[in-house]
Structure 1
Amino acid sequence: MSKASALSRTRILVVDDNASIHSDFQRILKAAPSRSSLEEHEAELFGDLDAPRTLPVVELDVELTLAHQGEEGVELVRQARALGEPYAVAFVDFRMPPGIDGVETIQRMFREDPDIQAVFCTAYTDLSWKEIANRLSQLDRYLILKKPFEPMEVRQMAAALGAKWRIERERATAHAALLEREVHLRALVDALPQGIVRVDRHGRCLEYRPPQGSCAGAVPSSLEELVPAGDAARVLELVRRAIDQAVSQRTELSVDGAEGRRHVDVRITALGGDRSEAIVSLSDVTELRQRQEEESLLREREIALTAQVEALGALSTPIVPISRRVVVVPLVGEFDARRGESMRSALLAGIVARGIRTAIIDVTGVPRMDEQMATELERTAGAVQLLGAEPVLTGLGPQAAQQLVALGISLARLRTFLTLQEGVAFALRRRS
C-alpha cells in the first residue's frame, strides 16, 4: 500500500456520557485504518503487487479530548479559545442525562467559539429537524451522524469539517489583514494634501476626497466641475489614455480666480483590473511655481552681477601702453585671488598680442600687502618671464615692504622701484 498522506493536526472534542463511545472515537480517529482480511491474504500469497493500484489512505493527525457531560464540553471549548488553541470539531451526543442535551451544548459552544464545527451523534431524537434548526440557526455549522455510525463516516466528517474550519479561519485572517491594510491606505490617502477623485472613462466622479483644509461640500458629478471648462476635454482624454494604455498621465493647468492665477498639477493613474476607472489627483502647486520663478530670477541676477563684477575687475586693472614694447598695469583697491587671476590673464594676453618686453605692475593704489597678494604677484611675474618679458614692480612703500618681511615672502623674480616714474624711466632706457 502506498504511503499515506497526512493532514494538518486537528483538535477534536468528543462529548458523550457513554465511555464505550469514547473508546470507539479513539479507535476510529487515532488509529490508521487496516487492510481488509482479503487484502491481507493477497499480500501473504502474492506480496504487495497491487499496492500501486491502491488509493492512498488519509491519516488524520488528531488531538482528541474527551468529555462526559455538556457543561464540561462547553467549559473545555471556552478554555481552549482563551488559550488560543481552539477546537476545530466537536462530536456531541444528543442525550446526556442528567445534564443538558446536545442541542443546548452546541448552542453554548457556538457562543463561546463562533468558529467551531459540530456533529450531532444520535440514535433517535425527541426533536424534529425543524425544531433543531429553530434553536440552532447556523445551519452550515453542524451535521447529524446517526448511531450506530460507520468508521468511514466519522473519519470523513472529521477530515471535511477540520478542513472547513481551517479554510474559514484562514479566510477570516486574510479578511482581517485586508481590512487593516484598507484602514492604513485610507489613513495614507487622508494624509495627502491634494484632492483625489475616482472617475470612470466618461469623466463621471465615483468618489471624491477634497484637498486638506477645504470644506467637503457636495460631491462633484463629473470632472468638468473640478477643472476649467477649456481644459476638461484634454483631461478626459488623458483619463482614457491612462485607462487604455495602463500608463500614468500628467499635466498642469492654470486657473484664473479671485486670488489671481493658480497652478494645478494633475496626475492620472489607472486602477487596473476589469474596472475602467482611474484616480485623478489635483495638487495646487502655485507656491512651488512662484518659488521656482523667484529662484530663476535670482539666478539671472547672480549671473548678471557676476558679469558686472568681472567687467569692473577688468576695468580696475587696465593695461596702459607706455611705448611699443612697454606697458603699465596700475592696481587700485583691494586685491584677491579672482582679481589676481583676471589681471594675470589680461596681462599675458597683451604680452602675446603686442610683443611686450617689459611689464610694469604698479601697486601704489593698493592699501595693504598681504600673503595672498604677494603670491599672486609672484605667479604673475613667473608667467611674464615664461613669455620672454621682464616683470617690474613699482609703488611698493615701506609699510608694504615690512609686511612682506614679516610674512617671510621674497619677490626675488621682480625688479622693484619705489615710484612708477622710476620704473617707467628704467623700462624706457632698457628698450632704447
Structure 2
Amino acid sequence: MYVERVLSGMRPTGRLHLGHYHGVLKNWITLQHEYPCLFFVADWHALTTSYDDTARIVDNAWEMVVDWLAAGVDPAQATLFVQSRVPEHAELHLLMSMMTPLGWLERVPTYKDQIEKLSHKDLTTYGFLGYPLLMSADILIYRADKVPVGEDQIPHIEFTRELARRFNHLYGREPDFEEKAKEAIKKLGSKRAKLYNELRTRYQERGEAEAIERAHALLGEAQNLSLGDRERLFGYLEGSGKMILVEPEALLTEAAKMPGLDGQKMSKSYNNTIALREDRDSVIKKVRTMPTDPARVRRTDPGDPDKCPVWQFHLVYSDAATRDWVQKGCRSASIGCLECKQPVIDAILKEQEPMRERAQVYLDDPQLVRNIIADGCEKARKLAQETMRDVREAMGLDYT
C-alpha cells in the first residue's frame, strides 16, 4: 500500500560531529514534523568495509543514537531502530539477490570509487559488491517513497527504483490482472473511477508526473479498497502488474556546508572535528587555535577572510552584520584573529547547550535509549513483516 514515508540511516561510527548535524540531522529534525520517518542504525552496512574490526560497532551505535536524541530527533515523531534487529532486511536482500543482474551492481558509481579510496582494505568481497542491494532492501522493505540524499547518492536511488520495477514486473503478474484491476476501479465510485482513468491515461500517454502523484493521493484516500485491489490499482497506473514494492524518490538535500577546523571537509579521518557534545573548554581551545590567513603574521597585517578557515564558520554561524564586521575588520587589520573567532565560539557553544542538556537525560539513564530502540525495532519490524508477507506471496513462497 502506498503511504508517504521517509527512510534514512547512518553507519555507527560513534559520537557525531557538527558536520553530521548540519549535513544530516538538521534535515531529519525538519522531516520528522512533515512525514512519517524511519531513522536507522546501519550496523550491517558497517560490516561491508569493516568486517575485520567489529569490536566497537555496538558501543558506537549507542553513542550515535544518544547524539541523534541530543540533536533533537524525537522518538515520539520518528521511529528509531537498528537494522540488524529487523531480520526482514536480510531476507528481502537475499530474495532480491536472486533477480539482480550482476552488471547492475558493478556499474554503481560508488563501487569503484570506494575500492580506490579504501585501497588499503581487501574489499573483494560478496558483501561489498552487494551493499547497494542491501541499501535498496533497507528502503523497499518499508515501501518508503522518499529518501533524503545528497547528489552523489542519486545513483543508489535510481538503482533501487530499477530493482522495484524489475521485481514488480517479474512477480506482480497474476492471472486476469487487467480484469481484476478494472473491477477494482468500479469500487472507487463513478466520480473517482473517471478521475483515476483520466490520470492513468495522462501518465501513460504523456508521462505527466503530476498525474501519477494525484492518482496516488486518490488511492490513498479511498477507504473501501482491499489491500490486494489497492496494489492492483497502483500497478495498473503504470501499466504493469500489482505494485508490490514502491519506487522511492530521492529527496535531495543541500550539500553540507560545515567545514573542518582546517578548512577541509569535517571528518574524523582528518582529525579536524568538533563533536556534537564536545566539552566547552575543548571547543574554545580548538577554535582559538584554528589556522587563519597565513598572510596575517602580525596583528597589524591585513588579511583576506576568503583565505581563512574561520570565515567558513562565520558563513554557517554568523548573521549579516557580524560577517560584514569580519570582512572589514580583517581586511583593515582593525580586529585580530582571536577577536574574529569569538563570535564563532559563542555561536557553537549556544548551539551545543540544548544538545548537552537533552543528552544528559540519556547518559543518566541509558535504559531509556534501549527502550526507545526496542520500541522502534518493534514498529519497524511490523512494517517489514507486512512487506515480506506480500513478497513471499508474489514469489510463490507462501506456505500458509
TM range, smaller chain: under 0.3
More helix by share: 2
Q: Output the TM-score relative to the length of structure 1.
A: 0.16
Taking CA–CA contacts closer than 8 Å with sequence separation of 6 or more, which of the two structures ends up with the larger relative contact order?
2
